[in-house]
Structure 1
Amino acid sequence: MKSRDFTKTGPVAMVAHACVLVVVVCLLGAAVSHAATDEADSPLTVYVAVGVLDVDEISSADQRFTINYFAQFRWVDSRLAHDGPGTIRRDITDITAPRFLILNQQKVWSSLLNVVDITPEGEAVFRQRLWGDFSQPLRLHDFPFDKHTFELPMVSFGGLEQQVIMAPDPQRSSLIADNLSVADWRILGYQTEVREIPLTNDVSVQGFVFSFEAERIFTHYVVKYIIPLFLIVMMSWVVFWIDPTEAGSQLSVAVTATLTLIAYHIALAGKLPDIPYLTRMDLFLFCSTLLVFVALVEVVLTSRLARSDRVELARQYDFYSRMVFPAAYLAAAAWALL
């Protein structure tokens, strides 16, 4: 068989060969473009792991908590693959990468650079270390016997045109430290979840949420506020053992108890924010103040009876008050605190 010399083919054949080459090049370009489009359209999964290293403070009055935390975001993007030989480091603003935001962060300080470590296979790892304040709305109806869930809602924004899906990292578990700085709260547990996070009434985004549950240690409030309140109210009952003819002594005790309760109201005002409802402590304070005020009214009434020569009737009022007031106060305390 003789080999064919393509250089001696006619012009028609040469044009045909050129057309075939053009078609092949176009098909290859379309395939590459289609693959790139598919990659851009497919969701990017970002694996997240969070570690709360310390909880410095939980402020009920300011509706916030202060923590020291570490987070790792890991994803694979073939567009970031390189020739190696090892991991390279790039600023996150210099590459095509998702950006991450904690929605409730207030004042925070970062101790790590905004850099991404990239392996030759295109696996990217971004690490974040923050210390600062995070807002948290609290329902304080049960104060000081309350417990709350504190959240770190994380979302991805900007940096990529494709959708970003955040998920717990199967290679690294989230955690919270055992020894924490916060003294008046007890950590009960923590969890991670992926859910829709509402931004407005009509708009929500998919995000990653790390949350921990904490319970207030109420011993401080019992010793420093509740027990002294019991003693102050019991002090106001001393007037029932003072003879109604000694109106000056009765009034002195009753007024002293009232003024002491006012001072307690002022002391507790800084522990809570301005909220449109009453807490358990508010109800207990209200019941205490009301009974002390009623005791003051009873003193005025018995003193007036004594001056009207009805001393025996005034003494009967005092006698029954010795039983009625303690019973009413115990019932009110149980209703408010239990």
Structure 2
Amino acid sequence: MELKRLMHFLAVLGLFWSATSGSVLAQQAEVVLDKTENECRLFNMHTGVHPNNGNGPTKVDVSIIVADFLGVNDVDQQMDVDLFVTYTWLDSRLDNYDGCRLGKTEVWFPRIALLNSSNLRALNQNALNQVSVGEGGQVYYQQRYTGDVLSYHELHRFPFDKHGFKIQFATHLTDAANVVLTANAEKTWISDKLNIEGWNVSGVEIAAGTSRVHKSGEDLSTITLTINADRNPDYYLYRVMLLLMFVVFMSWVIFWIPPSRFEFQIGLGATSMLTSIAFNLSVANDLPELGYLTILDKALIWAIFLIFLSIVEALVTGLLVIKDRETSAVTLDRASRLVFPILLFGGWYLIVQLS
């Protein structure tokens, strides 16, 4: 854990250094802040009036850099992210203030909120309340956010699931008709080095859209950032399914024990049953309380059911021995040696394909 945090710190430090030295900022803003405080003093600026007042909505360009994607918590339905968010818009009233850095309260500033429930924190406190002005009244605002965001991902295909984790921003209700958010895909990207384990991240997408407010019937302009990732199932395959498979194989030893030893057969089957149930309980701690079954749940239930069937088979062969039909009992054991593996692996295959 400490090594992971150190790697994350070094990665973000490198990104932040490049931003402050001009590389990232040049891509996002291309603003040279070269004016004095007196030259940047505003007079009679009506901050409550939109730049395009009376001439249509103000377009706010949004781009997002995913500096890091630290993990996904399936139990709490959260993802841990580190984002650089940039807003850009045109305010012709600031045409003569290129090269200035101004306070948010001194100019018109778009009210944009995150729709996902989150614990995001703004880290650049100096930049939190300031905007930069470029040529022609182009205004830039950049902020870094880090923390947990609700992911709302479903787990029907766990642990073979793929997700598009969405983070959605929207205009304030009072600005519904006056602000339109546009997505800047060229300046939206994700870092090549991510400190996330158990997931394969394939990329990010950004798109503009609308969201209807049911009470008022108004449409809010939205920006949706999608982080595409698929889970690496190796941990569950080797640490759960493989070990469970050995438990099931252990129950099949019943088919090689002479039918006359049915007490030993029943004891072995019961041990296998208890062990498989313990596996099920241990895996349940890694998942939220769902109203549906995942692939892993179905695979566990199917394996436990087959262990139960092996116990039933032992009872049947024991009854056949009592009735002096040991030959039939031996024949049933030999058939079970073939049928049960087919049932296990065939059932697991169908579960994966049909889920």
TM-score class normalised by the smaller sequence: 0.7 to 0.9
Match of 2:146 among 125, 131, 149: 131
Written as runs of structure 1 = structure 2, the 5 A alignment for 1:263-302 is 263-302=278-317
Structure 1 residue 96 corresponds to structure 2 residue 111 = no
8 Å contact from structure 2 (residues 156, 294) kept in 1: yes
After superposition, residues 6-17 of structure 1 pair within 5 angstroms as none
Once residues 84 and 103 of structure 1 are traced to their aligned partners in structure 2, the CA distance between those partners, rounded to angstroms, is 33
Cα deviations by residue, 1:40-84 (Å, 9 ceiling, x for unpaired): 1321111111000001111222222110111010112234x2764
CA distance in 2, matches of 1:69, 1:119: 22
Give the corresponding residue for 1:52.
Answer: 66
Normalised by the length of structure 2, the TM-score is 0.77
Q: Which SS does the other structure have where 1:106 is aligned? A: coil
Q: Is contact 1:185–1:217 with CA below 8 Å preserved after alignment?
A: yes
Aligned length: 300
One-letter identity of the residue aligned with 2:122: S
Q: Percent identity, aligned pairs only?
A: 27
What's the counterpart of residue 211 of structure 1? Answer: 226
Corresponding letter in the other structure for 1:99: R
Q: Distance in 2 between matches of 1:128 and 1:185?
A: 27
Matched residues in 2 for 1:214 and 1:52: separation? Answer: 13
Change (3 A) 1:203 1:330: farther
Contact kept, 8 Å, 2:50 with 2:178, in 1: the verdict is no
Q: Of 100, 108, 113, which residue of structure 2 is paired with 1:87? A: 100
Q: CA deviation at 1:89?
A: 2.2
Q: Deviations 1:279-300 (Å, cap 9, x if unpaired)? A: 2212211210110001111112
Give the match for residue 43 of structure 1: 57
> Paired residue for 1:74?
88
Q: Establish whether residue 229 from structure 1 lines up as the match of residue 244 from structure 2.
A: yes
1:307-318 matched pairs, under 5 angstroms: 307-318=322-333
Cα distance in structure 2, aligned partners of 1:310 and 1:200 = 73
Q: Deviation at 1:118?
A: 4.0
Structure-1 residue corresponding to 2:203: 189
1:278 Cα deviation from its structure 2 partner: 2.1
Segments of 5+ residues of structure 1 without an aligned counterpart are 1-35
Bigger mean CA deviation after superposition, 260-269 or 97-106: 97-106
Q: Distance in 1 between matches of 2:146 and 2:299?
A: 37
Give secondary structure in 1 for the equivalent of 2:260: coil
Which residue pairs with 2:352 in the alignment? 337
Q: Deviations over 1:106-130 (max 9, x none)?
A: 1121102322324375332222211
Aligned residue type for 2:194: L
Q: Give the stretch that moved more between structures: 316-325 or 42-51.
A: 316-325
TM-score normalized by the length of structure 1 = 0.81
Give the secondary-structure state (helix, strand or coil) at the position aligned to 2:108: coil
Equivalent residue of 1:245, what SS? helix
Is the Cα–Cα contact under 8 Å of residues 320 and 326 in structure 2 kept in the other structure? yes
One-letter identity of the residue aligned with 1:207? T
Aligned residue in 2 for 1:19: none
- Aligned with 1:112 (options 116, 124, 129): 124
Deviation at 1:226, TM superposition (A): 1.6
Matched, 1:157 2:172: yes
Contact 1:151/1:209 (<8 A) preserved: yes
What RMSD, in angstroms, separates the aligned Cα atoms of the two structures?
2.5
The answer to whether the 8 A contact 1:49-1:174 is kept is: yes
- Which amino acid in the other structure matches residue 249 of structure 1? F
Question: Alpha carbons of 1:265 and 1:155: their partners in 2 closer, same or farther (altered >3 Å)?
Answer: same
2:181 corresponds to: 166
- 1:188 is displaced (CA, Å) by 1.3
User: Any unmatched runs of 5+ in structure 2?
Assistant: 1-48
Question: How far did 1:149 drift?
Answer: 0.2
Instruction: String of CA shifts for 1:12-42, please: whole Å, max 9, x gaps.
Output: xxxxxxxxxxxxxxxxxxxxxxxx8994132
Code of the residue aligned with 1:117 in structure 2: it is V
How many Å apart are 1:247 and its aligned residue? Answer: 2.1
Matched, 1:148 2:163: yes
How many Å apart are 1:327 and its aligned residue? 1.7
Which moves more between the two structures, 179-188 or 119-128?
119-128
Deviates more, 1:248-257 or 1:157-166: 157-166
Give runs of aligned pairs for residues 247-262 of structure 1, distance below 5 A: 247-262=262-277
